[in-house]
Amino acid sequence: MNKVSEILSYITEVAPLHWQESYDNSGLLIGDENALVDKALLTLDLTEQVVDEAIENSFHLIISHHPLIFKGLKNILVDNTIGRIVTKAIKNDISIAAMHTNLDNSYFGVNRVLAENLGLKELQILHQNNSDEDVQIGSGMVGMLENEMSEKEFLGLVKERLQVPAIRHSELLNKPIRRVALCGGSGSFLINDAKHCKADVYITADIKYHDFFNADNEILIIDAGHFETEQFTKQLFADIILKKNPNFAVQISSVKTNSVHYFV
C-alpha cells in the first residue's frame, strides 16, 4: 500500500505542479493525500462511467489528464454529472487527481509520447516557457521524420497511428514533409511558432475555421482530434508510475471517453 501523495509524486517529479498554466487546476482534487491505496485507475477524461468502473473494481485512486473540477463549483448536486461524480467519489473513498498542463509543459510529457508514436526524432520543445536550457519546459514539440514523405503519405501515417476516422487539414501545398511540429489537444495558439521554426506541418486539435487561414501557404495544418492527440497520456501515466514503483498496480480505464463521434 502507498499513500496517494506518494503515487502522485512520481508524476510531479516529471511534471511539477508549478509548471501548470495559471488557468489550470492540476493536482489532487478530491480525497485525502494520506489515504493508502494499492492501485490506480488511469484515464484521459473523468466521466461517470469511469467512476463506476473504479467502484466496481475497488479502485480508490483515479488519475486523469483533464481536471474534473476546472472552474469553481457553486454547488454539488446529483442532478448534474459533476455533482454525481463528486458524490460517488466521496461516498466510495475514491481520491481523484488530474495532471494536465503541467504534463503538457514537460519535455517528458504528453507531446513527447505523441511525437514518439509518430516516429519523430531530435525532439525539442516548440515554445519554451523558461530560459534554463538545461530543463525544457513549454508548449508543443518539434521533431524530424527519419525520411521525408509526401503530404498525403503523412496524412495516412497520422490517420493510422492515431486511429483517426477523418482528418481536417488546410490546403495541401505539394511539398515534402520532414520537420513536424505538434501539440496534443487544443493548440491553435502555436501555429505561428510552428511556422517560425520552419516546420513543414503542424498537428494539433480544436482548430477553428479561420485558424486554417493562418497556414498562409507556408505550412500544412492538421486537426487530428483532441482525444486522438492525447490518447497516449494514459499509458504515459502507467509508465511513469511503474518505473518508480514496479509493484504498484495500475490499470488503464476501459471506458472510451472521447466525446466526439464520427459519421464517415
Instruction: Quote the Cα angle for 188-191-193, to 5°.
Output: 130
pLDDT of res. 136: 83
Other C-beta atoms lying within 10 Å of the C-beta of residue 172: 11
Helix or strand (DSSP H, E) at 84: helix 81-91
What does the alpha-carbon distance between residue 53 and residue 178 come to, in Å, rounded to a whole number?
42
Taking alpha carbons only, the member of 255, 252, 204, 212 closest to residue 230 is 204
Residue 133: per-residue pLDDT: 60
User: Do 118 and 146 meet the contact criterion of CB atoms below 8 Å apart?
Assistant: no
As a whole number of angstroms, the distance between CA 103 and CA 106 comes to: 5
Tell me the pLDDT tens digit for each residue of 145-183: 999 999 999 999 999 999 999 999 999 999 999 999 999
Distance CA(169)–CA(186), nearest Å, equals 15
pLDDT at 242: 98
What is the per-residue pLDDT for 72?
81
d(CA 256, CA 242): 23
pLDDT of residue 129: 85
- Please give the sequence-ordered ranges of beta strands (E in DSSP) within 26-154, or none if there are none: 27-30, 36-37, 39-43, 61-64, 95-98, 121-128, 138-149
- Walking along the chain (264 residues) 10 residues at a time, the average pLDDT comes out as 98 97 97 98 98 98 97 89 96 98 97 98 93 79 98 98 97 98 98 98 98 97 98 98 98 97 92
By the 10 Å C-beta count (0-12 exposed, 13-18 middle, 19+ buried), 262 is classed as: exposed
| Domains, the chain, ordered by start | 2-103+231-252 (3.40.1390.30), 107-223 (3.40.1390.30)
- Give the per-residue pLDDT at 131: 55
| pLDDT at residue number 71 | 84
| Contact of 108 with 74, CB cutoff 8 Å | no
pLDDT at 195: 98
Distance CA 94, CA 76 (A): 16
Say how far apart CA 151 and CA 222 lie, in whole Å: 11
Element (H, E) at 169: strand 168-169
79-107: pLDDT as tens digits = 999 999 999 999 999 999 999 999 999 99
Global pTM?
0.95
Cell numbers linked to 28: 489532487
Task: Report the distance separating Cα 50 and Cα 52, nearest Å.
Answer: 5
- DSSP label at residue 75: -
Q: Which residue has the cell 514537460?
A: 106
Q: How far apart are CA 151 and CA 172, in angstroms?
A: 7
CB 118 within 8 A of CB 158: yes
